Amino acid sequence: MVDPILASRLQFALTTIVHIIFPVMSMGLAPFLVYFTWKSIRSEDRLWDQQRRFWTKIFAVSFVVGTVTGIVLEFEFGTNFAAFSTVAGELFGGPLAVEGMMAFFLEATFLGVFVFGREKVGDALYMVSAVAVGAGTWLSAVWILIANSWMQTPRGFELVQQGGQPIVTLVDPWAAYLNPRFPWLFVHMQSAAVISVSLFMLGVAAYHVWRNRDTRFWRVTMKLSLVTLLLMAPFQVVHGDSYARHVAETQPQKFAAMEAQYETEAPAALHVVAIPTELSGFTDPRAENLWTLDIPALASVLASGGDPTHEVTGLSEFEESPPVAIVFWSFRLMVLLGFWFVGLAGWGAVRWRQGRLYDDTRLHQAMVGSSLLGILATEVGWIVTEVGRQPWVIQGVLRTEDGVSPGLTGFEATLTLVGFALVYTGLLALYSYVVVRIIREGPPEVGTGEDEPRPSDRPEVPAPEGVVADD
């Protein structure tokens, strides 16, 4: 049997890794759907109705599966991490409750109107439903990330003894819920969601343009997603650089693990590559048997924002450290993918300017191959966030091993781990099958029974000149 602490951590990691795919899709699609809805109301071009109908299908599927997998995550706080819930329930449970009452119900209430009510409500109410669904999706992220960011940089609380056990008591809601990590985490996460969906849309569009370059729907989709990637990918790189400096200030042991920095140094070199020379080094947080490829003083520059003499605190200064290999390589992969997204967007922009956006087969292949890399970058980013905090579940307050349910046995934890692995693998496979089927079916045809004109529609006229609707 697996140790109950390890099994609980693996189970929560598994369910989180699978679950996060669905909110990323729904949060990233939300701004696009609001835009498509606005364009379909304002424009006589039925292309925007096609865009709205097609991407709404994927949004709705993502919302349903995300709801199912997300509810399970909240139950795991009671089944696998009951001690954590007991200690931090007063503060941690509040944002989760508000997320359900405010964000989820807002989104769920208007989702029915948005998905099924276009022919039954007027333009104004339908636009309200689109904005409400998008706002609900992003509000969910607000409250979830408030709870998570508090675990990274806990503020606004006191530890009081109740029955001989320390309990977190909320004393300053503003300090707790607007803790130093929240704005960084929220902006980075939402940007990652938009980038992930932009890459997904770009890859799907590139595949169809590659096969049929005269398909106007997919050409417009390609341009829209490319413009979004051009804006968001460089922003994410710049924001991520500033975010890393914030981590260096508030969680120096996490930053040291991200850089495999074992000794406190000034200046500190950036380890581009750090590979343990013994197998035990991949799991031993204290392993210093590394082969490294360094850039002198660059870690000091990154940690300080430009000072090559800045002192970077090493892991040797802390009693316990996170598993360095996991954090180091996850961070490196995330950064590498971020720069690739910038390069891919630039490549597409050059071909667009040259008038070859629809003719470059290698570019289309690169776009197709990158369609899921945004989700991968988000996953490894969360691995850095969560594994880099170890051995703490609440930084400096409660260790992960002390947050696991005290009565949980190894057999119970192993059984549920195996069960969740099977169920979540099946859910992910089913979701993938449905999404692939939607993509293969393509957008609804204008003027068919699937996409009948509304009585209020004006006669269709040629598309107006514009950046994306001129194909």
pLDDT at 225: 96
pLDDT at 89: 85
Nearest Cα residue to 240 out of 334, 304, 308: 334
Nearest Cα residue to 394 out of 176, 173, 196, 98: 176
Mean pLDDT by 10 residues, the chain (471 residues): 86 92 95 94 89 94 90 85 88 82 79 86 90 91 92 91 84 92 95 97 93 83 96 95 92 89 82 73 64 79 81 84 87 94 96 92 95 96 93 91 88 90 93 94 61 39 43 45
Instruction: Supply the pTM of this predicted model.
Output: 0.89
Spell out a b/e string for 202-232, using b for 16 or more CB atoms within 10 Å of the CB, else e. bbbbbbbbbeeeebebbbbbbbbbbbbbbeb
* Other beta carbons less than 10 A from residue 67's beta carbon: 17
CA 168 centroid distance within chain? 28
Rounded to an integer, what distance in angstroms lies between the CA atom of residue 49 and that of residue 458?
Answer: 13
Residue 428's contacts (CB-CB under 8 Å, 6 or more residues apart) are 18, 21
pLDDT at 449: 37
Q: What is the 3-state secondary structure (H, E, C) of 442-458?
A: CCCCCCCHHHCCCCCCC
Rounded to an integer, what distance in angstroms lies between the CA atom of residue 123 and that of residue 328?
Answer: 50
Which two structure tokens, joined as six digits, stand for 76?
Answer: 């795991």
Please tell me whether the peptide bond between 391 and the residue prior to it is cis, using omega within 30 degrees of 0: yes
Nearest Cα residue to 32 out of 158, 134, 171, 144: 134
Nearest Cα residue to 357 out of 141, 456, 210: 210
Domain boundaries defined on the chain: 193-404
